[in-house]
Structure 1
Amino acid sequence: MVLFRRKPLLLHYYVTTACQLRCSFCNIPEGSAQTANINEVFYNLKTARRLGARFVDFTGGEPLLFGPLPEALRYANKLGFVTSVTTNGLLLEKRAPELAGLISLPRLSLDGSEAVHDHIRGKASYQAVLAGLAACRRYRIPADIIFTLSAENRNDITHVYEVARAHGAILILDPAFSYFSNPDHRELDVLIREWASRPFVYVNRAFLRLRNRGGNSIREPVCKAVRAAIVIHPNNELLLPCFHHATTRLSLANGLESVWNSAERKGALLQEGRIPACAACTINCYMDPSFCYSMDAYFGLSLYSKIRYAFDKWIR
């Protein structure tokens, strides 16, 4: 494989670990809630852009619980970032007016019909998602719907697809992390492949190929998380190699650039995708940018998937 990109592509900024929900596939809210300092966010955004990052995903937790999110988005846009925010929707109707025009790729989570969605999310939230979708249309926020597929909701894809089409949204199919002990059955991948050919459905075919091959191999790793993604925790730490398998936490008190060029980070780079926790990993938010670093079949499949998404989103 020939590496043709060496700078980071994506900044995963965890602005808070707080969340109002307790989803069956997520363990992020289990610890004490922490929230980022907006001045540190500004500084890290500027440095990450200088290091080469082109995309910033404001995540959590629930990112809409982060009060100064509009200010962070506004500054990210000023720096030239492509911005994304994925929300559970509980606060979207309320905050839509102040977010309008600030998010390049807004995404809203919906996991099934009302009973199924509310069960998976651990709280009644289905109606809030629908209200949030309506608010997005009202304020011209081009929201997509993320459907986190698991054995629990596999029969609800049609329902969520119909909701997405009714609101002019793309349906993004995203299998639940096997990291969280969710079933990772082959039949789910068959189902995803069946839906991948439909219009207004986004599936990264490179990710499907990786899953079909058993996930990341620590002998020949596909994952490039250490070089591809800058992962920042709300308490102003760089996490290596990623949020979910962090073995190293480096304080950013002396600046992101010095930490990015540090011996600790270079050491993590040598072990990129090779530590035991990386074996069979299929965490899409790190695999997706990893596909952009090597001229191989994964790159081609990922590029095709994104071109198809752009066609459905802006042209079809």
Structure 2
Amino acid sequence: MRLRSKPVLCNYYVTYRCNAKCSFCDIWERPSPYIMLPDVEQNLRDLKRLGVQVIDFTGGEPLLHRQIDQMLGMAHDMGFITTLTTNAMLYPKLAERLKGKVDMLHFSLDSADKEEHDKGRGVACYDFVMESIRVARELGEHPDILFTVFRHNLHQLEEVYQNIILPNKLVLILNPAFGYNEVETGEQLTEEELRYLSDFGKRKQVYLNQGFVQLRLDGGNKTAKPVCKAASTTLVISPENELVLPCYHLGTKGFPINSGLYELYRSQEVEELKRLEGRLPACEGCTINCYMQPSFAVELNKYFWKALPSTLKYNYLKGTWKRLI
């Protein structure tokens, strides 16, 4: 049973450019412009009309955009919940400008070992994460640590939790790695490892959407009966100011917005693509977290019930529920 017909989230790609070269991501290889502030302002108005509640300013590395603070401030003032994930290399320099504008600020950290983390990211950024934690806390901000989980770094969870999360009173977000296109993410977590991850996610100050674990145990999205509702729950806007469907990772078509996002999203051509969400050949077995999270929130099924306790836990820890009232 469908609980909500309106989209929940906008993944707003401010640029595909990045100052890191993560081994599990190919976005930094793409040429890219930067989004334009007047387009953002118009699109935010249309996103509000469409019922979107959360704006994720993403990339690439979103802090590369020189007007990122203005965009975040604009979205925040309009009542959206704002979220941003960064490798933290630029955060200490921009922290004052970003203060109070990001509801969910995530610093990427995949290991307590500096060399291991920097190797995976393709650039020396571990020290920037540590510095960013200090700066953010001094400013009264409440950042999270986003830990992308692979088989090779699963053993690092305990040390990150004990030595970084608890002493700094942070939230640890567990992000199981997912494959897409030709990007190599290594061997998938075994059933035993997934259950370990599930148990870890029940600790205090830890967030893991338990629906992610269940979906992986079930073998991912099934095109015959899709759980993915990417196109109807999430709008993806590219740096070229195009609406990308059905999603960024598997996107096959970009529609120029031309100051008409509201009408475009409700057009017949887009509606036809929305009806194919989760049913395309590339959707078989998909476990892409950023589309499953909103998908689990709008359909009353076992994934909804699996995800609900962890989602409530995170929103309680962060206080974001107050902005939805």
TM-score by length of 1: 0.96
Q: How does 1:1-316 map to 2 (within 5 A)?
A: 2-112=1-111, 113-161=113-161, 162-179=163-180, 180-182=183-185, 183-186=187-190, 187-313=192-318
- Say which SS state the counterpart of residue 297 (structure 2) adopts: coil
How far off its partner does 1:312 sit? 4.2
Using the alignment, how far apart are the partners of 1:91 and 1:225 within structure 2? 30
Q: Is the 8 A contact 1:239 1:246 kept in 2?
A: yes
Q: Is the 8 A contact 2:147 2:174 kept in 1?
A: yes
CA apart distance, 1:153: 1.4
* Residue deviations 1:234-286 (CA, integer Å, cap 9, x gap): 11000001000001110001510121012221111121100011110000000
Counterpart-to-counterpart distance in 2, 1:181 and 1:274: 23
Coordinate RMSD, CA, aligned: 1.2
Quote the Cα distance in structure 2 between the aligned partners of 1:31 and 1:77: 29
1:87-109: CA deviation from partner (whole Å, max 9, x where unpaired): 11001111111111111111110
What is the identity, as a one-letter code, of the residue corresponding to 1:178?
A: G
The one-letter code of the counterpart of 1:147 is F
Q: Residue type of the partner of 1:252?
A: I
Secondary structure in structure 1 of the residue aligned to 2:174: strand
Q: Secondary structure at the match of 1:249?
A: strand
Q: Which moved more, 1:300-309 or 1:80-89?
A: 300-309
Bigger mean CA deviation after superposition, 96-105 or 183-192: 183-192
Question: Which residue does the alignment assign to 2:323?
Answer: none
- String of CA shifts for 1:135-175, please: whole Å, max 9, x gaps: 11011111000000112312211222121222211000101
Q: Which ranges of 4 or more aligned residues in structure 1 deviate by more than 6 Å?
A: none
Identity of aligned residues (%): 39
TM superposition score normalised by structure 2: 0.93
Does the Cα contact within 8 Å between 1:12 and 1:231 map onto a contact in 2?
Answer: yes
Report what 2:322 is aligned to.
none
Q: 1-side partners of 2:68 and 2:142: how far apart?
A: 18
Task: Please say which of residues 257-266 and 56-65 is displaced more in the overlay.
Answer: 257-266
Q: Is the 8 A contact 1:147 1:160 kept in 2?
A: no
**One-letter amino acid of the structure 1 residue matched with residue 279 of structure 2:** R
Name structure 2 gaps, 5 residues minimum. Answer: 320-325
